[in-house]
């Protein structure tokens, strides 16, 4: 098949007989961690924030503080609503969980506190839609369950606890969520966020990131009921939704997953977790730590050989014990891949080869040429491990694609990274853009890169999320040879095993429309079945809450058939079907 050439057209050449790799279905992942309140304040169904009265700061917002500045969001979340002489006192001596509780002393009036959720944005209530929760109170910390049914709709309500009639009442561990309507809600997920994951077409879930480096991020804190702990980015985080809940969510979604544990956790707790995981049949990868030997290790600062060897010693302690308890598990290492420290990388490989199946390699996704760097990083990694051990079975996984943006530039960057990822075949497990989620207008540590944005009562996809959806929905198993004669236009050509369906993933990173001609070898009869394009007026455009589908996939089959052309700043998927002779 060959389309008619237009003047100045970009030539796209594809050879369906020149097979380059088998493309794993697990390629289309997402990476989630508690950055910008992805989890506590987001995926976690809990509608309140600072549920155990841990925070000391007055209510405040610290927008756009630079990453690594040490600013802690978001300040104390509860406000005093006492009347007629009632008193509220934060008691640091008595608590059910954590470091403090709240003491209510109504006197002759009322004593009470109010919570408006994350950042004081309000709690969405819908008329007739029940909400359920609990709190702890009294000398024995009795658990009191309750339900509330709003009689009006309010997107920014507040939750009140009031005491009257004199005396004193201590309260702690306050929880509120929408009444569940499905299994995800019952296990503690915000149901609309899980629906957004499905909309994105994800085929792999990763849980980890910087939160793993918090000193209190330990398996012993993830057992039993909800409890607070000091997070990596925030003064207050919650163990209410963590590893066990994540694995259950992945299992319900029927998706393979990977999660991180603290690299210096105890063997006993790790074995207990591995044993618990035996109930699941799906693919589960346990990563030991996160970005180790890159400033997060006990030694801190610049990575040194001592850090590498200390980390690897702990990995070699944890992995055999967990594998013995649960042979179905696979494992990933977490030493930060740094080509400027190849002596450390080689030592890490020698010490972990045979212990882990995957090395987590984090790549950039901040500009449209990032795919070239990703390709080079993976090539360098593969050459290193096969040089040291030609028989190694270790492979790579991209558990984080990172940048500081969530606009159209990020979408094209991810599509370009997927070009490099497909070329790796089964050697690469997945490629997970970070971060899966981001609260709208929440950017307190620099990682302004959510694929799905949310407010208290809605979710929507940013351009990178749509690019992932397009790639996943148009997956084909076989990568074949494809090229263009224009540096600003790239192509990744795939087909099914029978050759009946061919899909081209084409990126145009320029500000000009690009007419194209298509030249297929090895396919005498192909017909365009569908053309889908994601484009924007500029690389800086994104999707705001009042226009959530501004940048979203559009069916351009008719216009592309009439005049084959790529829109400026676009990612286009072209599906062809074999025509019977």
pLDDT in tens, 444-461: 778 899 999 999 999 999
Total number of domains in the chain: 3
Is residue 364 one of the residues assigned to a domain? no
| CATH code assigned at 129 | 2.60.120.260
Is residue 488 one of the residues assigned to a domain? yes
Statement to judge: residues 328 and 237 lie in one domain? yes
* Strand ordering across the sheet containing 110-115: 78-80, 110-115, 159-164
CA–CA separation, 314 vs 327, rounded Å? 19
Q: What would the 3-class secondary structure string for 154-198 be?
A: EEEECEEEEEECCCCEEEEEEEEEECCCCHHHHCCECHHHHHHHH
Q: Is the pLDDT assigned to residue 72 strictly greater than 60?
A: no
> Lowest-confidence range among 63-72, 364-373, 566-575?
63-72
pLDDT at 581: 64
Q: Are 358 and 26 in contact (CB under 8 A)?
A: no
Instruction: Read off the pLDDT of residues 12-61 as tens digits, 9 standing for 90 and up.
Output: 999 999 999 999 999 999 999 988 889 999 999 999 999 998 887 544 33
Is residue 411 one of the residues assigned to a domain? no
pLDDT at 65: 32
Higher pLDDT, 92 or 535: 535
Q: Report how far apart the first and last C-alpha atoms of the chain are (Å, whole number).
A: 13
> Lowest-confidence range among 59-68, 76-85, 132-141, 325-334?
59-68
Statement to judge: residues 103 and 229 lie in one domain? no
Statement to judge: residues 319 and 429 lie in one domain? yes
CA–CA separation, 252 vs 271, rounded Å? 23
Confidence label for 525 from pLDDT (cuts 50, 70 and 90): confident
Domain that holds residue 193: 25-44+182-359+373-404+424-454
| CATH code assigned at 218 | 3.20.20.80
Angle at 255 between CA 250 and CA 257, to 5 degrees: 70
Statement to judge: residues 271 and 192 lie in one domain? yes
Higher pLDDT, 300 or 215: 215
**Residue that finishes a domain, picked among 162, 178, 194:** 178
| CATH code assigned at 558 | 2.60.40.1180
Statement to judge: residues 231 and 377 lie in one domain? yes
Statement to judge: residues 446 and 486 lie in one domain? no
Other C-beta atoms lying within 10 Å of the C-beta of residue 12: 26
Instruction: Read off the pLDDT of residues 113-152 as tens digits, 9 standing for 90 and up.
Output: 999 998 888 999 999 999 999 999 988 999 999 999 999 9
Largest Cα separation within the chain, whole Å, is 91
Is residue 66 one of the residues assigned to a domain? no
pLDDT at 70: 32
pLDDT at 71: 32
Is residue 343 one of the residues assigned to a domain? yes
Question: Per-residue pLDDT averaged across 171-186, rounded?
Answer: 97
CA–CA separation, 175 vs 48, rounded Å? 7
Q: Are 190 and 45 in contact (CB under 8 A)?
A: yes
Is residue 55 one of the residues assigned to a domain? no
Question: Per-residue pLDDT averaged across 338-361, rounded?
Answer: 96
Statement to judge: residues 505 and 430 lie in one domain? no
pLDDT at 58: 46
What percent of the chain clears pLDDT 70, i.e. is strictly above it? 94
Confidence label for 75 from pLDDT (cuts 50, 70 and 90): very low
Tokens of 192: 């609309």
- CA Rg value for the chain: 26
Q: Are 461 and 58 in contact (CB under 8 A)?
A: no
Instruction: Read off the pLDDT of residues 409-456 as tens digits, 9 standing for 90 and up.
Output: 999 999 999 999 999 999 999 999 999 999 998 887 788 999 999 999
Q: Please give the mean pLDDT across all residues of the chain.
A: 92
Is residue 368 one of the residues assigned to a domain? no
Q: Is the pLDDT assigned to residue 294 strictly greater than 90?
A: no
For residue 331, what is the enclosing H or E element?
strand 330-333
Is residue 461 one of the residues assigned to a domain? no
For residue 438, what is the enclosing H or E element?
strand 437-439
Statement to judge: residues 309 and 192 lie in one domain? yes
Angle at 27 between CA 422 and CA 534, to 5 degrees: 80
Please report, for the chain, how many H helices and E strands are present, in that order: 10, 33
pLDDT at 297: 52
**What are the φ and ψ backbone dihedral angles of 346, each rounded to 5 degrees?**
-65, -40
Kindly state the DSSP code that residue 255 receives in the 8-state scheme.
Answer: -
Confidence label for 298 from pLDDT (cuts 50, 70 and 90): low
CA–CA separation, 159 vs 174, rounded Å? 10
**Residue that finishes a domain, picked among 136, 155, 178:** 178
Angle at 27 between CA 537 and CA 572, to 5 degrees: 30
Q: Where are the alpha helices (DSSP H) in 294-430?
A: 305-325, 342-352, 370-388, 408-423
Kindly state the DSSP code that residue 434 receives in the 8-state scheme.
Answer: B
Statement to judge: residues 157 and 283 lie in one domain? no
Instruction: Read off the pLDDT of residues 384-407 as tens digits, 9 standing for 90 and up.
Output: 999 999 999 999 999 999 999 999
pLDDT at 3: 60
pLDDT at 230: 84
Question: Per-residue pLDDT averaged across 528-536, rounded?
Answer: 98
Statement to judge: residues 160 and 250 lie in one domain? no
**Residue that finishes a domain, picked among 438, 454, 470:** 454
Statement to judge: residues 327 and 245 lie in one domain? yes
CA–CA separation, 241 vs 245, rounded Å? 6
Statement to judge: residues 88 and 144 lie in one domain? yes
């Amino acid at each position: 098949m060959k389309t008619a050439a237009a003047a100045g057209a970009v030539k796209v050449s594809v050879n369906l007989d020149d097979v380059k790799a088998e493309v794993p279905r697990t390629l289309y992942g997402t990476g989630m961690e508690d950055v910008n309140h992805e989890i506590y304040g987001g995926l976690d169904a809990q509608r309140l924030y600072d549920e155990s009265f841990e925070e000391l700061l007055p209510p405040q917002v610290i927008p756009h503080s630079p990453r690594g500045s040490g600013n802690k969001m978001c300040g104390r979340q509860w406000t005093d609503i006492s009347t007629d002489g009632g008193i509220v006192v934060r008691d640091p001596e008595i608590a059910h969980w954590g470091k403090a509780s709240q003491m209510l002393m109504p006197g002759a009036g009322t004593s009470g506190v109010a919570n408006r959720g994350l950042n004081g944005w309000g709690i969405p209530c819908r008329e007739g839609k029940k909400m359920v929760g609990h709190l702890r109170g009294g000398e024995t910390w009795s658990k009191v369950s309750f339900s509330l049914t709003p009689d009006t709709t309010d997107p920014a309500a507040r939750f009140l606890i009031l005491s009257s009639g004199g005396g004193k009442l201590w309260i702690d561990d306050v929880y509120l969520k929408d009444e569940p309507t499905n299994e995800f809600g019952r296990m503690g997920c915000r149901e609309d966020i899980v629906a957004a994951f499905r909309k994105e077409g994800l085929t792999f879930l990763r849980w980890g990131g910087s939160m793993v480096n918090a000193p209190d991020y330990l398996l012993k804190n993830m057992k039993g009921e909800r409890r607070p702990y000091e997070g990596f980015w925030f003064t207050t985080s919650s163990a209410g939704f963590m590893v066990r809940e994540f694995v259950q969510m992945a299992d319900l979604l029927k998706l393979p997953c990977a999660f991180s544990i603290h690299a210096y956790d105890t063997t006993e707790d790790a074995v207990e977790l591995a044993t618990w995981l035996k109930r699941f049949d799906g693919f589960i990868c346990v990563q030991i730590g996160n970005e180790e030997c890159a400033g997060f290790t006990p030694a801190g600062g610049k990575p040194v050989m001592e850090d590498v060897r200390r980390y690897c010693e702990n990995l070699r302690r944890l992995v055999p014990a967990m594998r013995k308890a649960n042979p179905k598990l696979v494992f990933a290492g977490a030493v930060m891949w740094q080509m400027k420290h190849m002596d450390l990388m080689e030592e890490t490989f020698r010490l972990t080869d045979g212990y882990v199946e995957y090395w987590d390699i984090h790549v950039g996704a901040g500009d449209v040429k990032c795919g070239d760097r990703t390709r080079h990083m993976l090539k360098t990694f593969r050459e290193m491990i096969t040089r040291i051990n030609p028989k190694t079975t270790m492979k790579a996984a991209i558990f984080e694609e990172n940048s500081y943006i969530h606009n159209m530039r990020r979408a094209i960057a991810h599509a370009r990274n997927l070009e490099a990822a497909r070329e790796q075949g089964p050697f690469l497990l997945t490629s997970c853009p970070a971060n899966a989620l981001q609260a709208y207008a929440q950017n307190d540590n620099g990682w302004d890169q959510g694929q799905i944005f949310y407010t208290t009562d809605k979710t929507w996809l940013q351009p990178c999320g749509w690019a992932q959806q397009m790639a996943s929905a148009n997956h084909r198993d076989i990568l074949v040879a494809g090229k263009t004669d224009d540096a600003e236009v790239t192509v990744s050509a795939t087909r099914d095993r029978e050759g009946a369906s061919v899909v081209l993933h084409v990126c145009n990173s320029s500000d000009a429309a690009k007419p194209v001609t298509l030249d297929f070898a090895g396919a005498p009869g192909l017909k365009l079945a569908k053309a889908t394009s994601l484009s924007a007026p500029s690389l800086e455009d994104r999707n705001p809450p009042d226009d959530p589908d501004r940048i979203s996939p559009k069916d351009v089959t008719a216009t592309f058939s009439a005049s084959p052309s790529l829109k400026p700043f676009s990612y286009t998927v072209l599906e062809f079907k074999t025509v019977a002779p």
